[in-house]
């Protein structure tokens, strides 16, 4: 799942690592991004409902087994906001999420303007009121750190040590508070720099294990050509009925 001001093409970097592991990808544009309609993004708040619909769709199609969520920045926040309400998700890969939006805004304001939070808070409140009226959510509730205490899905956190947009302590704080099995990877770079090979290797091994690919995708469990033909016909018939 992609970050803010991005699209599903972010996922192309993962293809060469995941497909050889028999892990398929479902890549999409969040509302208001890429080819999807919509005027606004909500940095994870409404995007988690997009994810819920997609997971439901995949399960209804019955063409996948276990499901993981891989997100970067806004996409990672979205995964965390969804994870505590859907324990059926098998794994999470979380690249550079923020822990709390208001904390992030205050950090960025001080970094670029040196304004203390005392001066930023009234402005943020005005912005919050505008967003409530237009997009119908409270930015003060956009706080993944409040969700991780109820999340028990195996998770791999990651951050770039030179990230000066969402600083590494956000991922560290989320990792420390997370209640499920967890790992943490740090690598050189910034928020938008290319991720190193060892990160993709680590993430693909993590997903291969948590998705149980070795057990699920054996010769005895794969669909035969005839079974695939029948399944495709079932899907076509269902679409016609709809």
Asked whether residue 128 is domain-assigned, the answer is no
DSSP result, 147-215: TGGG--S-EEEEEETT-SSS-HHHHHHHHHH--SSEEEEEESS-TTSPPPHHHHHHHHHHHHHHTTHHH
Tens-digit pLDDT profile for residues 205-230: 999 999 988 765 555 555 566 765 67
Q: How far is CA 120 from the centre of its chain?
A: 28
Asked whether residue 127 is domain-assigned, the answer is no
Element (H, E) at 92: strand 91-95
Asked whether residue 232 is domain-assigned, the answer is yes
Asked whether residue 24 is domain-assigned, the answer is yes
Query: In the chain, what is the straight-line distance between the N-terminal and C-terminal CA atoms, in Å?
Result: 28
pLDDT of residue 57: 93
Query: How many C-beta neighbours within 10 Å does residue 83 have?
Result: 26
pLDDT of residue 117: 82
Asked whether residue 105 is domain-assigned, the answer is no
pLDDT: which is higher, 97 or 225: 97
pLDDT of residue 149: 93
Distance CA 41, CA 44 (A): 8
Q: What is the model's pTM?
A: 0.86
pLDDT at 84 over 90: yes
Asked whether residue 107 is domain-assigned, the answer is no
Q: pLDDT > 70: what percent of the chain?
A: 91
* Mean pLDDT, residues 189-193 taken together: 96
pLDDT: which is higher, 115 or 157: 157
pLDDT at 108 over 70: yes
Asked whether residue 36 is domain-assigned, the answer is yes
Asked whether residue 117 is domain-assigned, the answer is no
Tens-digit pLDDT profile for residues 128-183: 999 999 888 899 999 999 999 999 999 999 999 999 999 999 999 999 999 999 99
Q: How confident is the model at residue 31 (pLDDT cuts 50, 70, 90)?
A: very high
CATH number, domain of 161, equals 3.40.50.1820
pLDDT of residue 115: 80
What domain range is 195 assigned to?
Answer: 8-100+142-241
> In the chain, how many domains are there?
1
């Amino acid at each position: 799942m992609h970050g803010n001001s991005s699209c599903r093409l972010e996922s192309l970097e993962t293809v060469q690592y995941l497909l050889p592991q028999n892990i398929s990808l479902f890549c999409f544009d969040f509302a208001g991004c890429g080819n999807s309609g919509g005027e606004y993004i909500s940095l994870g708040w409404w995007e988690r409902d997009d994810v819920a619909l997609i997971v439901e769709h995949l399960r209804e199609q019955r063409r996948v087994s276990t499901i993981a969520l891989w997100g970067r920045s806004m996409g990672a926040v979205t995964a965390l906001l969804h994870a505590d309400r859907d324990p059926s998700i098998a794994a999470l890969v979380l690249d550079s999420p923020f822990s709390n939006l208001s904390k992030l805004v205050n950090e960025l304001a001080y970094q670029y303007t040196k304004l203390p939070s005392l001066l930023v808070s009234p402005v943020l409140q005005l912005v919050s009121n505008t967003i409530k009226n237009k997009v119908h959510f409270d930015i003060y509730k956009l706080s993944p750190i409040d969700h991780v205490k109820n999340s028990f899905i195996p998770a791999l956190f990651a951050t770039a040590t030179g990230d000066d947009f969402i600083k590494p302590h956000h991922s560290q704080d989320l990792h420390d508070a997370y209640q499920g099995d967890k790992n943490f990877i740090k690598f050189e770079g910034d928020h938008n720099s290319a991720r190193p090979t060892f990160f993709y290797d680590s993430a693909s091994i993590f997903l291969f294990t948590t998705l149980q690919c070795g057990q699920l995708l054996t010769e005895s469990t794969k669909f035969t050509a005839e079974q695939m033909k029948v399944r495709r016909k079932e899907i076509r018939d269902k679409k016609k009925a709809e």
